[in-house]
């Protein structure tokens, strides 16, 4: 499939992540890109296993939105609600140079917000162009994903942002 050129190497790396978590249970870890475990329903089930087994393990949503149309809607929505305390909002973007880049990314952010907040069919995500049905997550879940989890994991963040 397009998301995984070599599935054997992919699972070798996911198994390595498991062994790191197993050897270092006190390690606070936020895995970027949902640990690349949101492209199939079986991966989301494995991610549930990791999150339920390792209480200091978290994931961010950077570069994941374009895969949401590849998984079962209810499974993804239930996962987001169940593990809202362990998910952080993220995109996957570097520095912007021009007003056009800023406008393009602002539109991409808005699509991501609509995917999480509404029940609309959203035309595209942060990177992808496939239509994605909005998850219509509850407000308390959105607050955790958008900022409360980050404030808990990075306690000095609120000081630096004057919150």
For residues 121 and 158, the model is more confident at 121
Q: What is the pLDDT of residue 163?
A: 52
Rounded mean pLDDT, 135-163: 88
CA terminus-to-terminus distance, the chain: 43
Residue 28 has pLDDT above 70, yes or no: yes
- The mean pLDDT of 4-20, rounded to a whole number, is 87
Angle between helices 41-53 and 7-23 (to 10 degrees): 10
Mean pLDDT of the chain: 90
Lowest mean pLDDT among 73-77, 88-92, 147-151, 159-163: 159-163
Tell me what percent of the residues of the chain surpass a pLDDT of 90.
67
Nearest to 145 by CA among 82, 75, 94, 92: 82
- pLDDT tens digits for 40-72? 999 999 999 999 999 999 999 998 998 999 999
Is it the case that residue 161 has pLDDT exceeding 70?
A: no
Q: Which residue has the tokens 């809607």?
A: 73
Between 41-53 and 73-82, two packed helices, what is the crossing angle to 10 degrees?
A: 10
Q: What is the pLDDT of residue 162?
A: 57
> What's the rounded mean pLDDT across residues 119-124?
90
pLDDT above 50 (res 1): no
């Amino acid at each position: 499939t397009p998301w995984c050129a070599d599935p054997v190497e992919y699972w070798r790396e996911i198994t390595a992540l498991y062994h790191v978590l197993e050897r270092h249970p006190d390690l606070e870890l936020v895995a970027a890109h949902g640990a690349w475990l949101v492209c199939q329903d079986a991966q989301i089930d494995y991610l549930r296993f990791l999150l339920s087994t390792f209480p200091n393990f978290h994931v961010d949503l950077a570069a994941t939105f374009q895969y949401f149309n590849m998984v079962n809607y209810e499974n993804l929505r239930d996962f987001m609600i169940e593990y809202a305390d362990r998910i952080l909002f993220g995109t996957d973007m570097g520095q912007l140079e021009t007003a056009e880049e800023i406008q393009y990314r602002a539109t991409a952010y808005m699509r991501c917000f609509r995917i999480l907040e509404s029940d609309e069919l959203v035309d595209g995500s942060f990177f992808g162009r496939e239509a994605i049905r909005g998850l219509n997550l509850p407000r308390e879940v959105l607050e955790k994903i958008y900022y409360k989890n980050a404030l808990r994991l990075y306690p000095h963040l609120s000081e630096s942002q004057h919150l």
